[in-house]
């Protein structure tokens, strides 16, 4: 299991080795599209197995369970979609060129989240590959792919996947994904893959035909929970652990982003996330390659990212939505829905200082005291952002920051992320102020499911008191409206914004204070009246002062311990970035600094 994939159809020296878990079956066989049924032999604990030379790479097949034919839930490729035949794929057929690739240290990750279908006109892995030089020039160090597991149709965010091992056919399939990862490594870019281990999508979900993959003990927002601690759970856990190992070992993925781990229900003595950490540690012992686990989790519980030796699950990092929420309210966003729990600049100060805004505080939205304080966790264990697929796409109209905030505020929000002692993440297109929305889209074939999704989107926005109707997720135009407009980068404010982001990323990578996500050597002072924040960070012989003004007026601020040996190293309000300030030297004429409205000034002080 550690050295090679074992579940499903695999190949060794041209021979197919087949292993399926179908515990309730009386008979299981493989039916190639050409040829006779291949009868599997029953083994212990519900497994069925065989070796054969009659099934070869590229051949389509079905699994026959007690006379009924189904696609293979272990399949790596579904060329005709979720209801079609599975295709045998040999993961060892790739000729890798990245043998010398070493994963980037996690603290150096500068992440760019993208959706394969809307990132380029082609909507494919090959399309992404054509933009790698652009991404490298921008300054990011890691791309994060939204889920690529097979989903129904060819338009979907990816969280409706029903074949966790299969790489979506319209994106290019498994061979194209391997090629993309190889090319990313050649360009010096790490690859993060978003995987979904908390639920299986509704259409094309054939797991119930195989075994007890779900349990009625718990419910999730998407139905019955995956069975991680009920009868038969050992094999279910193996299925998902092997999936993670496959992406890292056979596709050379550098990190996995684990979707909504708070929806993974497991009261086993060893939580499945801990088991996953242990499995990747074992994989590193075999391959010498390191891989990271990054969780999406809204529990504000640092146990998920605490080391194994301290009783944690050992995950390497996690997304912090609360930083985004506090930042958005500080910038003047509406306090509606779950944003009603956030109060602006003081909460943003808490996010800088504690990572979790709610770190043992009472939450009006939840009506309870919520969260823990991750005082011992390092800055690289938190991923922050001013936009992501959820926070844009889960708005009814999918508006990006470019549609909600003016040019100066967009620059301030971006810089807030970059100067944080956490890992920054961009959402595709924000670096040039993309104006197209990122909407929620699907391409289901079940009419009842389509209606349910449409009604669900309407109900989702009731808490936000939003008038009108959400764009139809099933409408193909909703998908096309979400594609990036690459032609905009070269002109006007879009070009200015790109240059600004490029400079920010370069500063983050090159400055000895900013490039280290150090939470300890830091001080935060927020001013609720002025809507300003002073962030001071230091390392060895250097100290920086970041003055952030979220108000619509210029504000005065006294720099602490202001000395002559100080220089301004960044000004978002500079004319260079389309701002009103022409002469940055004017800021050094007095210890009383006037911060331009909706801007950030960064001063460097030699200690």
Task: Report, at the CATH architecture level, how domain 106-506 is classified.
Answer: Alpha-Beta Barrel (3.20)
Of 3.90.1150.10, 2.60.40.10, 2.40.30.10, 3.90.700.10, the CATH number of 8-88 is 2.60.40.10
- 585 pLDDT exceeds 80? no
Q: Pick the range with the lowest mean pLDDT from 45-54, 248-257, 592-601.
A: 592-601
Owner of token pair 């003990």: 217
Q: Is 38 annotated as a binding residue?
A: no
Q: Is 389 annotated as a binding residue?
A: yes
Q: Is 321 annotated as a binding residue?
A: yes
- 487 pLDDT exceeds 80? yes
Taking the C-alpha atoms of residue 35 and residue 56, their distance in angstroms, rounded to an integer, is 12
Q: For residue 327, what is the enclosing H or E element? A: helix 321-330
φ and ψ at residue 349, rounded to 5 degrees: -60, -40
Taking the C-alpha atoms of residue 389 and residue 599, their distance in angstroms, rounded to an integer, is 25
φ and ψ at residue 109, rounded to 5 degrees: -70, 125
Please tell me if the domain spanning 8-88 has the same topology as the one spanning 106-506: no
Q: Would you say how long the chain is, in residues?
A: 607
Taking the C-alpha atoms of residue 334 and residue 329, their distance in angstroms, rounded to an integer, is 7
Taking the C-alpha atoms of residue 71 and residue 604, their distance in angstroms, rounded to an integer, is 60
Using a CB cutoff of 8 Å and minimum separation of 24, what contacts does 29-38 make? Answer: 29/63, 29/64, 30/55, 30/61, 30/62, 30/63, 30/64, 31/61, 31/62, 31/63, 31/64, 31/69, 32/59, 32/60, 32/61, 33/59, 33/60, 33/61, 33/85, 34/59, 37/64
Q: Is 266 annotated as a binding residue?
A: no
φ and ψ at residue 460, rounded to 5 degrees: -60, -25
Q: Is 257 annotated as a binding residue?
A: yes
* Beta carbons of 192 and 230 less than 8 angstroms apart: no
User: Does the active-site annotation cover 296?
Assistant: yes
What separation in angstroms does the CA of 73 have from each of 65, 288, 304, 390, 475? 13, 30, 29, 27, 28
Of 1.10.287.110, 3.40.50.1820, 2.60.40.1180, 1.10.30.50, the CATH number of 522-606 is 2.60.40.1180
Tens digits of residue pLDDT in 382-432: 999 999 999 999 899 999 999 999 999 999 999 999 999 999 999 999 999
- 289 pLDDT exceeds 90? yes
Listed in order, strand segments (DSSP E) in 53-129 are 60-65, 68-70, 86-87, 111-114
- What pLDDT was estimated at residue 505? 98
3-state secondary structure of 457: helix
Tens digits of residue pLDDT in 24-44: 999 999 999 988 999 999 999
Q: Is 53 annotated as a binding residue?
A: no
Q: Is 393 annotated as a binding residue?
A: yes
Q: Is 545 annotated as a binding residue?
A: no
Domain ranges of the chain: 8-88, 106-506, 522-606
Taking the C-alpha atoms of residue 586 and residue 472, their distance in angstroms, rounded to an integer, is 52
Q: Is 583 annotated as a binding residue?
A: no
Q: Is 494 annotated as a binding residue?
A: no
Taking the C-alpha atoms of residue 2 and residue 284, their distance in angstroms, rounded to an integer, is 10
* Beta carbons of 19 and 49 less than 8 angstroms apart: yes
- State the pLDDT confidence band at 467, using cuts at 50, 70 and 90: low
Q: Which token pair is 508?
A: 């983050």
- What pLDDT was estimated at residue 223? 78
Tens digits of residue pLDDT in 108-160: 999 999 999 999 999 999 999 999 999 999 999 999 999 999 999 999 999 99
- 241 pLDDT exceeds 90? yes
- State the pLDDT confidence band at 10, using cuts at 50, 70 and 90: very high
DSSP of 169-217, one letter per residue? GGGTHHHHHHHHHHHHHHTT-EEEEEE--S---STT--GGGTS--EEEE
φ and ψ at residue 421, rounded to 5 degrees: -85, 30
Q: Is 380 annotated as a binding residue?
A: no
Cβ-based neighbour number of residue 539 at 10 Å: 17
Q: Which of 296, 301, 341, 347 is catalytic?
A: 296
- What pLDDT was estimated at residue 462? 67
* Beta carbons of 151 and 82 less than 8 angstroms apart: yes
Q: What percentage of the chain carries pLDDT values higher than 70?
A: 96
3-state secondary structure of 92: helix
User: Does the active-site annotation cover 399?
Assistant: no
Triad 27, 7, 59: Cα angle to 5° = 75
Q: Is 158 annotated as a binding residue?
A: no
Owner of token pair 């620059």: 411
- 465 pLDDT exceeds 80? no
Edge to edge, the sheet with strand 599-606 lists 522-527, 532-539, 542-549, 599-606, 566-571
HEC secondary structure over 117-153: HHHCCCCCHHHHHCCHHHHHHHCCCEEEECCCEECCC
DSSP of 415-445, one letter per residue? HHHHTSSSEEEEETTGGGT--S---------
Which has the closest alpha carbon to 281: 272, 290, 270?
290
Q: Is 123 annotated as a binding residue?
A: no
Would strands 38-39 and 28-32 be described as parallel, antiparallel, or unpaired?
antiparallel
Q: Which of 113, 250, 259, 341 is catalytic?
A: 259
What separation in angstroms does the CA of 176 have from each of 87, 242, 257? 15, 21, 20
Taking the C-alpha atoms of residue 470 and residue 467, their distance in angstroms, rounded to an integer, is 9
């Amino acid at each position: 299991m550690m050295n090679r994939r074992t579940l499903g159809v695999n190949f060794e020296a041209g021979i197919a080795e087949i292993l399926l878990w179908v515990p309730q079956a009386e008979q299981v066989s493989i039916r190639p599209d050409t040829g006779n049924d291949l009868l599997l032999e029953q083994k212990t604990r519900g497994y069925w197995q065989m070796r054969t030379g009659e099934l070869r790479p590229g051949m389509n097949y079905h699994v026959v369970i007690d006379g009924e034919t189904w696609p293979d839930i272990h399949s790596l490729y579904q060329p005709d979609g979720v209801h079609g035949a599975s295709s045998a794929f040999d993961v060892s057929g790739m000729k890798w060129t990245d043998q010398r690739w070493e994963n980037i240290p996690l603290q150096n990750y500068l992440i760019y989240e993208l959706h394969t279908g809307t990132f380029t006109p082609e909507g494919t892995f090959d399309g992404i590959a054509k933009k790698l030089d652009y991404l490298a020039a921008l300054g990011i160090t890691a791309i994060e792919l939204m889920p690529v597991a097979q989903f129904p149709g060819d338009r979907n965010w990816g969280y409706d996947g029903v074949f966790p091992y299969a790489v979506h056919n319209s994106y290019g399939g498994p061979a194209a994904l391997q090629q993309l990862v190889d090319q990313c490594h050649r360009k010096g870019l790490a690859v993060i893959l978003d995987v979904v281990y908390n639920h299986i999508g509704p259409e094309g979900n054939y797991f119930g035909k195989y075994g007890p993959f779900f349990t009625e003990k718990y419910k999730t927002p998407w139905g019955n929970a995956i069975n991680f601690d009920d009868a038969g759970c050992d094999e279910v856990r193996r299925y998902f652990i092997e999936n993670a190992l496959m992406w890292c070992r056979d596709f050379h993925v550098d990190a996995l982003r684990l979707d909504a781990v708070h929806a993974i229900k497991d009261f086993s003595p060893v939580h499945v996330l801990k088991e996953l950490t242990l499995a990747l540690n074992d994989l590193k012992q075999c391959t010498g390659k390191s891989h990271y686990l990054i969780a999406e989790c809204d529990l504000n519980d640092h146990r998920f990212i605490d080391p194994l030796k301290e009783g944690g699950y050992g995950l390497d990092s996690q997304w912090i939505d609360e930083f985004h929420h506090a930042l958005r309210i500080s910038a003047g966003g509406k306090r509606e829905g779950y944003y009603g729990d956030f109060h602006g600049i003081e909460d943003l100060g808490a996010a800088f200082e504690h990572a979790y805004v709610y770190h043992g505080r009472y939450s009006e939205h939840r009506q309870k005291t919520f969260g823990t304080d991750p005082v011992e966790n390092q800055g690289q264990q938190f991923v922050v952002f001013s936009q992501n697929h959820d926070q844009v796409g889960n708005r009814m109209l999918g508006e990006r920051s470019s549609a909600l905030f003016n040019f100066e505020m967009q620059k301030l929000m971006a810089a807030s992320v970059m100067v944080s002692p956490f890992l920054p993440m961009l959402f595709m297109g924000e670096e040039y102020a993309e104006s197209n929305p990122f909407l929620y889209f699907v391409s289901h074939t079940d009419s009842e499911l389509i209606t349910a999704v449409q009604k669900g989107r309407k109900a989702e926005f009731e808490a936000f008191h939003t008038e009108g109707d959400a764009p139809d997720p099933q409408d193909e135009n909703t998908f096309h409206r979400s594609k990036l407009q690459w032609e905009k980068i070269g002109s006007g404010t879009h070009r200015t914004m790109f240059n600004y982001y490029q400079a920010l990323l370069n500063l983050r990578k090159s400055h000895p204070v900013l490039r280290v996500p150090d939470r300890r050597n830091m001080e935060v002072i927020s001013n609720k009246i002025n809507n300003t924040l002073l962030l001071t960070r230091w390392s060895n012989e250097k100290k920086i002062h970041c003055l952030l003004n979220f108000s619509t007026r210029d504000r005065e601020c006294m720099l602490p311990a202001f000395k002559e040996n100080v220089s301004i190293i960044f000004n978002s309000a500079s004319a260079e970035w389309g701002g009103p300030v022409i002469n940055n030297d004017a800021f050094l004429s007095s210890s009383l600094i006037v911060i331009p409205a909706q801007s950030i000034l960064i001063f460097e002080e030699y200690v």
